[in-house]
Amino acid sequence: MIFNELDPRISRALSKLNFHKPTLIQAEAIPLALAGKDILARAKTGSGKTAAYCLPVIQKILTIKEAIPETSPDRAAIRSLILVPTRELAEQVTKHINDFLIYCSKEIKVVNIANTTPVQLQRPILSELPDIIVATPSRALAHLDSQNIVVHDTLDSLVIDEADLVLSYGYEVDIQKILTHLPKIFQCFLMSATLTKNVENLKQLLLRNPAILTLHDEKDEINLTQYCVRCSEVDKFLLIYVILKLRLIKGKCILFVNDIDRCYRLKLFLEQFSIKTCVLNSELPLNSRYHIVQEFNKGIYDYIVATDENDLKADNDTDDETIEEHDETKTSDKKRDKTRLRKKDKEYGSSRGIDFINVTAVINFDFPTSAKSYIHRVGRTARASQKGMSLSFVVPKELAGKHKIVSCPSAKHDEEVYAKVEKQQSLAGATLRPYFFDMKQVEGFRYRVEDAMKAVTRTAIKEARLKDIRSEILNSEILKTHFEDNPNDLKALRHDTIIHPKRVQQHMKHVPSYLMPKIATPAANASADSDPVNGESAESNEYIPFRKKSTNERYHGKKLFKGKFGPKKRKNDPLKTFKLDSTPSKRKKTQ
Ligand SMILES: Nc1ncnc2c1ncn2[C@@H]1O[C@H](COP(=O)(O)OP(=O)(O)OP(=O)(O)O)[C@@H](O)[C@H]1O
């Protein structure tokens, strides 16, 4: 299948988007879909599933409309319903469709009704009979029930994207109710990166003699390099500091943690060293979440600390092999619920389906609680045939829970989940390589890391969480009114601001040269036949040199030696001054 077999308006849009040739799933699914087949597709994350169903849906609508005279009232009709599990995904799919429609936007209209606009206010938009509706199942059902959407005679296709997640979010009943509003015959697409027993049930319910595509593009596996490091819960903080501060991983990273408090703990910790991050979690308003992802994709932010708590829960509920949430997690969650400022958004998801662009690395700061969740998290990098890496921290069982304050309840199960991930990856022909490093090399940082960890108290986290949500609610209001009208105003809106400026210790911003360790980047480290104890064999690769003077700049990012913290002021580094003052010669002078 090649794209220029599609309507020329679609082909032009595709070349504008630099979609020169179809991905494997697109090449297989599009011709079958155009031939009218129902499709059940399972393909890896980032393999282009969205276009695999959007393009035939658009193509078919164009063909149907060409056969209807311009003046006929029958031209306007709702012909396709696309159901997705989260609001983010609905925004994203709608954007993709609008991109594909750029040369035929007059012929086909798409509307996203998954947003937070009240149902009544969406009625006028729906009365114009858009050709394609994108919705979460609950929203679609609300409109079908209230007759704002009437499709028994017109619907041509139904898509359920991320089908397993749609079901595990508890939408099964909604889907069954939705079916009662649909015509007897329509084409159906079920798309998912992972297929579960529930999807099998849905297949029986919805699909007629479907084409079942389970696609595995071997090239894609090679694009993702997976590393893991076993360490204590405190050492996770030490290592993340070293990795980000010394830029051992260059480029954009998503750091996954397992709950919202951990999100702010990690943000505040990194903030101590002037490492800026955005947070992404289900408490933030939808507009802010969407804006954060957009800006991250444009390259405005380097680091996102994300939770995928809804996805973790959804995976836990459905995956037989998943570790049960243990009591401690439940009680601590209950406690936190009391202090919660606003409700979590049930229709939030960060690790499923969201198209983060050009992500160098996914870092599982907290190891996920299921193998399925691991697939979706690491699937945020190495997308669309690009290269990417994942680095996962795994806490050995005997070290889990040892440091109460920084402990993550799920760490007790890291080893068990890791074993499942390893098995799952080896079945797919992939491996998780260990990231060896010489702990002695980073010991010098322990003091400042512990200092920073102490500053991130429970109260600080609570305050930060409240403050961030308040400011994001304000941001969200600005975003709501300005999104379309004043795009320039939005440029000034930042989501990575320092939450606790008073706690930031300026000297921690810099890494003194005498602390500079000899530590390899994950890539350099794993590519050599390292000695796990001292990692010496990686020397020839990308070691951060110890006491290297003149090339420090590359470890600190471009701006470090410019302006306020320029080279002349380096003498003011308190750590350095302290060292100088304690030399014997100085002491003599002052006596
Ligand atoms: N034929 C193509 N050529 C170039 N880029 C493509 C092509 N198809 C899709 N892409 C790009 O690949 C990225 C991933 O596509 P998409 O989001 O559809 O993947 P997915 O399989 O739905 O992933 P997930 O399971 O995570 O939702 C997107 O940025 C998309 O623009």
Mean pLDDT of 312-320: 47
Helices 458-482 and 286-298: angle between axes, nearest 10 degrees: 90
Which atom of ligand 1 sits closest to the CA of residue 25? 21
Q: What is the overall mean pLDDT for the chain?
A: 78
- Is 108's pLDDT higher than 70? yes
Strand partners, 215: 43
CA-CA-CA-CA dihedral for 128, 130, 136, 141, to nearest 10: 50
Tokens of 98: 């609008």
CB atoms within 10 A of CB 549: 8
pLDDT score of 576: 39
pLDDT at 571: 42
The reported pLDDT for the residue numbered 485 is 56
Lowest mean pLDDT among 238-247, 270-279, 504-513: 504-513
Reported as a pLDDT band with limits 50, 70 and 90, residue 487 is: low
Query: Distance, CA 506 to ligand 1 centroid (Å)?
Result: 42
Residues facing 390 on adjacent strands: 226, 362
Worst-scoring range by mean pLDDT, 115-119, 279-283, 571-575?
571-575
- What is the separation of C-alpha 281 from the centre of its chain, rounded to a whole number of angstroms? 10
Which residues, listed in sequence order, are joined to residue 188 by a DSSP beta bridge? 158
pLDDT above 60 for 289: yes
Atom number of ligand 1 nearest to Cα 352: 26
Check residue 500 and give left, alpha or beta (phi > 0: left; psi -120 to 50: alpha): beta
Whether 223 and 388 have beta carbons less than 8 Å apart is answered as yes
Report the chain's terminal Cα–Cα distance, integer Å: 85
pLDDT per residue as tens digits for the range 156-166: 999 999 887 77
Mean pLDDT of all residues in 251-270: 94
Who lines ligand 1 at CB under 6 A?
19, 22-23, 26, 43, 45-51, 193, 353, 355, 357, 379, 383-384
Q: Supply the pLDDT for residue 368.
A: 94
Give, for ligand 1, the residue of 21, 372, 383 to mutate: max count of ligand atoms closer than 8 Å to Cβ.
383
| Closest atom of ligand 1 to CA, residue 384 | 12
Summarised one tens digit per residue, pLDDT across range 159-216 is 999 887 777 666 788 898 999 999 989 999 999 877 777 778 888 888 889 999 987 6
Domain spanning 2-216: which CATH class is it, in words?
Answer: alpha beta
Task: Of 307-311, 456-460, 527-531, 585-589, give the range with the top mean pLDDT.
Answer: 456-460
Residue 284: CB partners within 8 Å, gap ≥ 6? 292, 468, 469, 472, 476
Helix intervals (H) in 35-136: 49-66, 87-100, 119-127
Average pLDDT over residues 355-377: 91
Q: What percent of the chain has pLDDT over 90?
A: 40
CB atoms within 10 A of CB 143: 19
Q: Between 167 and 501, where is the model more confident?
A: 167
pLDDT band at 51 (very low <50, low <70, confident <90, very high): very high
Centre of ligand 1 from the C-alpha of residue 415, in Å: 32
Say which CATH topology domain 219-320+338-502 has.
Rossmann fold (3.40.50)
Q: Report the pLDDT value the prediction gives residue 506, as an integer from 0 to 100.
A: 67
β-strand partners of 187: 157
The strand order across the sheet containing 278-280 reads 278-280, 303-307, 252-257, 359-364, 388-394, 224-230, 432-434
Q: Cα(523)–Cα(226) distance, rounded to whole angstroms? A: 10
Q: Do 2-216 and 219-320+338-502 agree at the fold level?
A: yes
Domain extents in the chain: 2-216, 219-320+338-502
Dist CA 94 CA 105 (whole Å): 13
pLDDT of residue 531: 37
Question: What is the mean pLDDT of the segment spanning 368-386?
Answer: 86
ipTM of the complex: 0.97
Closest ligand 1 atom, CA of 52? Answer: 18
pLDDT at 347: 56
Residue 505: the pLDDT is 67
